[in-house]
Amino acid sequence: LEEQFAKSQKMQAIGNLAGGIAHDFNNVLTIITASVDFLLLNHRTGDPSFQDLLLIKQSANRAAALVRQLLAYSRRQTMRPKMLNLTDVLADNHLLLQRISGDLVKLERHHARDLWPVMADIGQFEQVITNLVKNAHDAMPEGGTITISTRNVPATEVKSFGYAEMEDEDFVLVEVADSGTGMPADVAERIFEPFFTTKEIGKGTGLGLSMVYGIIKQSGGFIFVDSRMGEGTTFRIFLPRHIPSAIEAPRAEGAAANGTK
């Protein structure tokens, strides 16, 4: 399971990063290749720098091939947002989440009734939650409790959370809280950076939370962390409430028959 996790994290993060970086990187490579070609024109095969220039050219070609692969990969990862009821998605994933939590950890759920629907990619949301639960598990080597809760946050209550960047709109809140080690402020500040990890080599990639962050931003949402050393950590995800129009499917995917209207 560990290995599977590390792999899917890596792949997702590569996909998310690739699209943005690859384009700029390609421009840089074009300049390198063109300059080397120009220099090669002015050198003969026997010249001392000829082999070095050839090596630069070959390496630039290899880099270009890698960029093409990355681009091909990131294109496969397009979002397919659908109207979702997150309480239902979490319920459907409970067994998997329990397995990730491990035997020492108690997994609790508190879900609001009549949770508003959101627009999100179900696979990506599952990745977000499994990553948060995996990290929570890692922060509780001696066991503890993970609490996953969902609730509606009407526009009038947004201010009470004190997050300056959030507008007064209706949101659905998903909280993942653990009773683990917590983290110092300087760590908490950096956790969403790609490749930032405090775990030993082989245990962490540092890509999980950067991927989580990317997915939530792409979905128009917000993610915040609140952590206290020795007490635990809470992640809060806010996704905008989706108000279905008349022509859309009458209920959220996975919702119960008497679910959201």
Q: What x/- string results for residues 224 through 253 when contact with ligand ADP is judged by CB under 6 A? A: ---------x--------------------
Instruction: Give whichever of 183 and 239 is closer to ligand ADP, judged by the CB atom.
Output: 183
Q: Of 91, 197, 84, nearest to 139 (Cα)?
A: 197
The letter for the amino acid at 56 is: I
Partners of 118 in the β-ladder: 84
Examine residue 121 and tell whether it contacts ligand ADP (CB under 6 A).
Answer: no
Ramachandran assignment for 210, one of left (phi > 0), alpha (psi -120 to 50 degrees), beta (any other): alpha
Single out the residue of 208, 221, 240, 259 in contact with ligand ADP (rule: CB under 6 A). Answer: 208
Minimum distance, C-beta of residue 189 to ligand ADP, in the bound complex (Å): 10
Taking CB under 6 A as the binding criterion, the range among 87-95, 190-198, 215-223, 240-248 that sits at the site for ligand ADP is 190-198
Size of the site for ligand ADP (CB under 6 A): 22
Helices 122-138/94-101 angle, 10° precision: 20
Taking CB under 6 A as the binding criterion, the range among 35-43, 133-141, 162-170, 214-222 that sits at the site for ligand ADP is 133-141
Single out the residue of 14, 158, 178, 216 in contact with ligand ADP (rule: CB under 6 A). Answer: 178
Report the alpha-carbon distance of residue 209 to residue 129 in Å, rounded.
10
Instruction: Give whichever of 123 and 184 is closer to ligand ADP, judged by the CB atom.
Output: 184
Examine residue 180 and tell whether it contacts ligand ADP (CB under 6 A).
Answer: yes
Q: Of 193, 192, 197, nearest to 224 (Cα)?
A: 192
Minimum distance, C-beta of residue 235 to ligand ADP, in the bound complex (Å): 7
Helices (H), the chain: 2-41, 50-76, 86-92, 94-101, 122-138, 155-158, 185-188, 208-218
Rounded to 5°, angle at Cα 140 from 177 and 185: 65
Examine residue 147 and tell whether it contacts ligand ADP (CB under 6 A).
Answer: no
Ramachandran assignment for 15, one of left (phi > 0), alpha (psi -120 to 50 degrees), beta (any other): alpha
Examine residue 214 and tell whether it contacts ligand ADP (CB under 6 A).
Answer: no
Instruction: Give whichever of 121 and 178 is closer to ligand ADP, judged by the CB atom.
Output: 178
Minimum distance, C-beta of residue 4 to ligand ADP, in the bound complex (Å): 14
The letter for the amino acid at 243 is: I
Instruction: Give whichever of 115 and 209 is closer to ligand ADP, judged by the CB atom.
Output: 209
Query: Residues interacting with ligand ADP, by CB under 6 A?
Result: 131, 135-136, 139, 178, 180-181, 183, 187, 191, 196-199, 204-210, 233
